[in-house]
Every structure is written in structure tokens, then in C-alpha cells.
Amino acid sequence: MKPMVINGSTRLYGIAGDPVAQVKTPELLNSFFQQTGINAVCVPLQVATSGFEASLRGVMQLSNLDGLVITVPHKVRACALTESLSAEALRVGAVNVLRRCEDGGWHGDMFDGTGLTVGLLRQGFVLKGQHVKQLGSGGSGAAVAFALLAAGAASVTLCDPDDNAAQALAQRINASYPQHPARVSDVPAELTGIDLLINCSPIGMKPDDGLPAPFADFNPSLQVVDIIMHPAETPLLAHARRAGCHAVNGKPMIEGQLAEFIHFFGLADKESLCARSR
């Protein structure tokens, strides 16, 4: 592999979040750029919540910036920075990618949900017919809940400290999937009848975080997902693995949507991406 060369013609991509130390997207995209000889680079952008809109609007004025990946906690607020949104982003109410259009405007889409389901199926998870307990109903959580039901999950039970957010998401889900009910629970540790537990909350990212709920010992048949990337072993995943559960972190979600990012940014068509993965 040739070393990356950055010059005056290099196109820019960024990933904006707070924090960004844990993100893997620059590593994955830059590897793709090197392998394909594309003169582009992806860099992390630490953008505080207090200055998010002003910071992003300034960055988006750079004429050599072609795209942005959006991560926590900005996925909902980033919608307002676009001129157009995909049907998925509109349904979910959040974006995790933005691209510059030919007219200079920005278009947003959301791939967290489809990326996760693709990644989990690759890891041998069963989704069809499963009853899901999901912690967190923010931008990623909304995308994940919709995608799990699209993949055939039987039901989703949502838990979030912001009960209004969870109720609003459940209503949107039920409008699209009335045959696969979404419910809201205020008892996150209750897992009776649950086949898949997924943490879409930020609890577990900080060194002093414990479990996202006061769980008892898990049944070994429970499937467990924590979409947090860093640390790789969160307290939830450690708890699950001690019980013998099939458990993964957020890496399959990122890897599952990498091809979608590349196609969305116009860097390769899906046929060539499929050929590269064979």
C-alpha cells in the first residue's frame, strides 16, 4: 500500500462529534483512500455541543470539503444544516452523513440502523422474530429501532431517561410497523421475554460508568449489543460475556455501513464495492 500523500488537491472529509477520540471512521475511510488511490483524507473534528451549528456551518463553507460523518451527540441537530434529507433520515429524525451537492447545498442520510443490522447478521446474530429491549432513543437509537423491525424483529421495548423522547419514537415506529409493536418501559433491567438487549445510550463510555441498568445475571441465550466503540469492552459487554452471552460492541455497526458511506459520497458504486469485498 502506498503511503498517503496530502497536497493542494486533496479532498477533505470529516467526522464531527464530542468526543471523537473513540471513532474508527477515519481509519477505515483513509485505508480505503490509500487502497484505491483516491486523493482524499478523513479527519476527526471535535465539535462541542455549545458551538455545534456555528462550527459546522463554518466548516461546511470550505470548498474542498466534500462530506461529513456525524456522530454523538449531534445526529439530530445536524438535520437542520441540510437542504435535503433522505426518506430514512426524515423518518428517523437524524443523520449520520452529509454530502455536498453540485449546487453547493448539503444532503443528509442515516445509515446507523442498516449498518448495525448488516453487521450483526455477519456476526451470526438472530434478528428475525426476536423481542428487543433497547436502551436509548436518540438519533442512533431511532435508526436502530426502525432497522431492527425492518429486519424482522418481533417487537421493540424502549427505555430512555427522557420518557417523552421514547414515547415519541414509539409512536413513529408504530405508525410504520403496526404489526410489530414498539413499547416504552421505565424498568430497563427487566428482561423477561427479551431475546436481544441493545445499548444505544452513552452509558459505558466514561471510565467510571457502570452498567446502564441494575441487571441481574443474564441468561446465556440473551444476545447483547453495545453500540459504544470505546472502550471496546464496556461494563455491559463484560457482564454479558461472564454469563456466556453472544455479545458485540459497535464495531460491526461501523463496518456494516462503510460501503454505504463510500457509495453515498460518490467514491464508488455498490457493484465495485461488492466485488472488492469478495
Angle at 117 between CA 120 and CA 272, to 5 degrees: 95
CA distance 16 to 19: 9
CA distance 251 to 116: 9
Secondary structure string (H, E, C) spanning the chain:
CCCCCCCCCCEEEEEEECCCCCCCHHHHHHHHHHHHCCCEEEEEEECCHHHHHHHHHHHCCCCCEEEEEECCCCCCHHHHHCCEECHHHHHHCCCCEEEECCCCCEEEECCHHHHHHHHHHHCCCCCCCCEEEEECCCHHHHHHHHHHHHCCCCEEEEECCCHHHHHHHHHHHHHHCCCCCEEECCCCCCCCCCCEEEECCCCCCCCCCCCCCCCCCCCCCCEEEECCCCCCCCHHHHHHHHCCCEEECCHHHHHHHHHHHHHHCCCCCHHHHHHHHC
State the burial class of residue 3 (Cβ atoms within 10 Å of its Cβ: 0-12, 13-18, 19+).
exposed
* Candidates 75, 133, 251, 270; catalytic one: 75
Q: Is 75 a catalytic residue?
A: yes
Residues designated as active site: 75
